[in-house]
């Protein structure tokens, strides 16, 4: 699509650039310090979970259905927390494990286990000449870091409005047995905010894989993070996989990091019974039992899915105006320019922004010069390399509305200037 700057005559373009440069100089002089890089809830948002801290006290009953939460034991998690995990993940409670605060940490443990020991019955991945993982892009940099750290090759696959490009995924996994897995954030994906369509979920659960030990890291980090009462609906992948005889393929993860306290919640693992039992045996080598008091506090604070949804509705009140402001500022500032496109998600924590090819790094640098920190350009691609240099992740949740508005004005200004400069450079 042609930008307004490409359509301008030489003189008009030069004047537009001069005007934008003057604006940039003015903003730079203000010495602002704004941050739109962090996918964290705001402090006021986190504070809504404070009553969880009052659930337990020195006089509280610390038994959970016969399990003493104040002592060792019950590795897979206390009954009430596993029930919550089961409803949350869409598997029977007996197929879940509830662990410490971080789902990323469990993902790493499971991948390291397959690397060292292999998926049961198959060669350890470390002994293979080549191991590859499919990485939907734009995607979550910490996923890509897990595999990169092990020496697994990350292969990017384009995201579409219905999920990863499934024609490409099916083609790759059918022909290459060194592709051992794939990362998926199926609901309100990080950073596009899109939810996988039923067809995408079905194809992932049933596709023919050359590697019999192919695994999907189904990271459902945002599965209850709707902005409104009419959130996206995600098909239960376990049901489809079970029907197709592929129930061991799906490893689901989630946590309460963006429900209660980031870094101090509980994390969930759910899969087939066989995978649950095997992962449990492996993790037990290095852990006698997780923090069951925290599990108990969480299970009492969020005893049912209804209670959980009511809690999430409170979170949404903080998030809705921020996401609305992103759409308003980008539409008003860039809507007519042709300089960028962006997503408009119904939930999650991010908006994905795509500028002209070859401009994302320049925009992020220019924003930093004007006092706005963004996630580094390229972070949404494996190895930090966005081949077209277009993608920027917008994280609108942490700043106050006022700060967010100021940061978005700066993003708009930087995008316009770089877009105009590119039009001018094209002609030179």
Question: What are the two backbone dihedrals, phi and then psi, of residue 156, each rounded to the nearest 5 degrees?
Answer: -70, 140
User: How far is 294 from 306, CA to CA, in rounded Å?
Assistant: 20
The residue among 39 and 231 lying less far from ligand PMP, judged by its C-beta, is 39
Least Å distance between CB 103 and ligand PMP? 3
Alpha helices, DSSP H, located in 184-289: 198-206, 237-243, 273-284
Least Å distance between CB 244 and ligand PMP? 25
Which residues face 153 on adjacent strands? Answer: 132
Least Å distance between CB 28 and ligand PMP? 32
What CA–CA distances, in Å, run from 261 to 225, 233, 305, 409? 14, 25, 18, 30
Q: Which residue from 258, 301, 252 is spatially nearest to 98, judged by alpha carbons?
A: 252
**Interface residue list for ligand PMP (CB under 6 A):** 39, 102-104, 140, 185, 190, 219, 221, 255, 257-258, 267
Least Å distance between CB 268 and ligand PMP? 9
User: How far is 114 from 122, CA to CA, in rounded Å?
Assistant: 9
The residue among 39 and 333 lying less far from ligand PMP, judged by its C-beta, is 39
Least Å distance between CB 253 and ligand PMP? 7
The residue among 94 and 263 lying less far from ligand PMP, judged by its C-beta, is 263
User: How far is 241 from 393, CA to CA, in rounded Å?
Assistant: 32
User: How far is 424 from 409, CA to CA, in rounded Å?
Assistant: 23
Q: Is residue 347 helix, strand or coil?
A: strand
Least Å distance between CB 254 and ligand PMP? 7
């Amino acid at each position: 699509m042609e930008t307004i700057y490409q359509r301008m005559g030489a003189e008009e373009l030069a004047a537009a650039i001069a005007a934008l440069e003057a604006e940039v100089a003015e903003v730079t002089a203000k010495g602002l310090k704004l941050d739109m890089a962090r996918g964290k809830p705001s402090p006021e948002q986190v504070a809504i979970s404070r009553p969880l801290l009052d659930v337990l006290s020195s006089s509280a009953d610390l038994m959970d259905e016969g399990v003493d939460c104040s002592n060792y034991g019950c590795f897979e998690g206390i009954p009430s927390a596993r029930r919550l995990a089961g409803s949350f993940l869409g598997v029977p409670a007996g197929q879940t494990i509830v662990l410490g605060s971080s789902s990323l940490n469990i993902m790493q443990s499971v991948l390291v286990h397959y690397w060292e020991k292999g998926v049961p019955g198959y060669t350890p991945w470390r002994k293979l000449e080549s191991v590859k993982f499919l990485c939907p892009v734009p995607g979550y940099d910490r996923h890509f870091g897990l595999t990169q750290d092990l020496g697994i090759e990350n292969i990017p696959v384009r995201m579409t409005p219905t999920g990863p490009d499934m024609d490409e995924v099916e083609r790759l996994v059918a022909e290459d047995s060194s592709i051992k897995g794939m990362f998926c954030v199926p609901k309100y994906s990080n950073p596009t905010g899109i939810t996988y369509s039923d067809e995408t979920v079905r194809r992932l659960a049933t596709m023919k894989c050359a590697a019999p030990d192919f695994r999907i890291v189904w990271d459902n980090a945002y599965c209850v993070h709707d902005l409104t009462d009419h959130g996206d609906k995600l098909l239960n992948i376990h049901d489809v996989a079970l029907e197709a005889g592929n129930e061991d393929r799906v490893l689901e993860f989630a946590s309460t990091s963006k429900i209660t306290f980031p870094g101090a919640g509980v994390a969930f693992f759910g899969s087939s019974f066989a995978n649950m039992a095997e992962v449990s045996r492996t993790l037990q080598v290095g852990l006698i039992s997780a923090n069951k008091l925290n599990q108990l506090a969480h299970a009492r604070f969020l005893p049912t899915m209804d209670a959980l949804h009511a809690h999430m509705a409170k979170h949404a009140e903080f998030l809705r105006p921020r996401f609305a402001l992103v759409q308003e500022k980008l539409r008003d500032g860039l809507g007519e320019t042709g300089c960028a496109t962006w997503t408009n998600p119904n939930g999650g924590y991010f908006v994905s922004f795509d500028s002209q090819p070859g401009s994302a790094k320049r925009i992020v640098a220019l924003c930093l010069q004007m006092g706005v920190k963004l996630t580094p350009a390229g972070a949404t691609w494996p190895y930090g390399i966005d081949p077209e240099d277009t993608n920027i992740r917008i994280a609108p949740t942490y700043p106050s509305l006022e700060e967010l508005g100021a940061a978005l004005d700066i993003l708009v200004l930087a995008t316009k200037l770089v877009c105009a400069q590119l039009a001018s450079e094209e002609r030179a």
